[in-house]
Structure 1
């Protein structure tokens, strides 16, 4: 099935206030939700989807002061893909310093009301991802907004689907998509340290593992004073040199099974 594309003209988009920043390629795509209540009635009334996309653009431009809607593409329950900023243009929705890494795709679900993405929406998001890869030179990564930014977005329902690899509904999923809990992911090849604040998906991955092990740490993708403090305490617990720097030995130790 070809992607059911809704151009900006077709959904009545306002003109951007300026010129987009060019984006030649990305590591992949980040998936978002609205963060508010979504009327479940949109599932049975596509006109409501169109009005909702217009409302989101208005909020971003008049409320946030952005030049346009912040998303690259928006997907509704009817498997329709709305053009936002589109391909080869920098989005604004991923967070400061994170927009150049991934295109931003919004699924029209929220934190209340319609929270579970219908199959048509999931198919549409996959359609959007394939389009961004084919036409926008997006890489293979599929992430949630929360991967690298402190937020609940894209919500637990949509994020669990992202973590499974964003399969099409009805497709056979891998039986073991995640590595065993005691096996360390590949060393990212750089030490994580502060100062200055270091940012990236490798920081977020290490923070998430520390949180999983019981440490009080924000999974925000920014290695700052708190991350260094947790690192020092963890190194002390493991009998490693207490440097506050996540080197290869500290990284590997983070994925060792806890002593019981």
Structure 2
């Protein structure tokens, strides 16, 4: 990920203290919405930096906010710009909605530059991954989810709804989980943290089984860092190698493992 820091793009100081947000359910994707002119250069440069500065100025001077509303922004070249940054409450999702998701804005408009480039989509995936490494959960939503707005535009929203995948990512074949006598058979796919994040019926079945066994885990069908943490805890508890990877042995143990039964105290020997 190519990250441009606040200092590098010439950010103004934060006007008032920002609120920490150590974790959230996920990330909401936004766009600028007004007219956005395409960059006159092939590489990221002055044009993109000026656009980010203009957004910050509008949010501070026009809206009276403490800073630019978004945690991160992504230009058409795929460069990620630091807005409020990681672990901070955004001001972009709507009243009462900012504490549930971080906010990433694509520098895309409703006129001019309206079609996200492949580089921009890759940059958005990079930005989402960065926030996931700093407290974001697995959800990826559009701004319009839960708030009455056209943001992030139909084109970008369709990409979000399709799974927010990299443009060159191979299509994953659907995984079918077969259940026999109440036991989900090994579906043949190793579950691990990847980019793009693994998802599917097999992930959801494994998560649901761990939840039924009393483990605190989100049953959402996405195998991300939180699922890996639970997997490691499970492996440690049942005496398996602690890898954070759901291989066949780890999968089958979720249905077959039983806690050891305490032995009855022996009767004293007869005198």
1:80-123 CA distance string (max 9 Å, x none): 11000001110000000000000000001111111110011100
Which structure 2 segments of 5+ residues have no match? 175-198, 202-271
Say how many residue pairs are matched.
176
Q: Take 2:162 and 2:86, find their aligned partners in 1: how far apart are those partners?
A: 25
Change in Cα spacing, 1:170 to 1:50, as seen in structure 2 (3 Å) is same
SS in 1 for 2:8: helix
- The aligned counterpart of 1:50 is 49
Residue 141 of structure 1 is aligned with which of 126, 139, 150?
A: 139
Are the equivalent residues in 1 in contact too, given 2:76–2:107 (CA < 8 A)? yes
1:153 aligns with one of 139, 151, 154: 151
Q: Deviations 1:172-231 (Å, cap 9, x if unpaired)?
A: 23567999xxxxxxxxxxxxxxxxxxxxxxxxxxxxxxxxxxxxxxxxxxxxxxxxxxxx
- Give the SS at the match of 1:108: strand
> How far did residue 74 of structure 1 move?
0.4
Q: Distance in 1 between matches of 2:140 and 2:66?
A: 26
1:108 matched residue in structure 2: 107
Instruction: Kindly indicate whether the alpha-carbon contact (under 8 Å) linking 2:43 and 2:77 is maintained by their aligned counterparts in 1.
Output: no
CA contact (8 A) 2:59 2:67 kept: yes
Q: Give the SS at the match of 1:55.
A: helix
Partners in 2 of 1:60 and 1:11 — Cα distance? 16
Give the superposition deviation at 1:44.
3.2
When the two structures are superposed, what TM-score results if normalisation uses the length of structure 2?
0.62
Q: In terms of mean alpha carbon deviation, does 17-26 or 37-46 score higher? A: 37-46
**What is the distance in 1 between the residues matched to 2:82 and 2:97?**
21
RMSD (CA atoms)? 1.8
Q: In the alignment, what sits opposite 1:24?
A: 22
| Cα drift, residue 24 of structure 1 | 1.4
Tell me the equivalent position of 2:259.
none
**Structure 1, unaligned runs of 5 or more:** 180-260
Structure 2 residue aligned with 1:7: 5
SS in 2 for 1:33: strand
Work out the CA distance in 2 between the residues paired with 1:39 and 1:175: 38
* Cα distance in 2, alignment partners of residues 34 and 170 from structure 1: 25
Q: Which residue of 2 aligns with 1:222?
A: none
- Look at both structures and tell me which one has the larger radius of gyration over its CA atoms: 2
Q: Name the CA distance, whole Å, in 2 between partners of 1:37 and 1:141.
A: 28
Measure the CA separation in 1 of the matches of 2:171 and 2:157: 16
Residue 178 of structure 2 is matched in structure 1 by none
TM score, norm. by length of structure 1 = 0.65
- Return the alpha-carbon distance in structure 1 between the equivalents of residues 149 and 200 of structure 2: 22
Query: 2-side partners of 1:15 and 1:64: how far apart?
Result: 16
In the alignment, is residue 38 of structure 1 matched against residue 15 of structure 2? no
Would you say the 8 A contact 2:23–2:136 is kept in 1?
yes
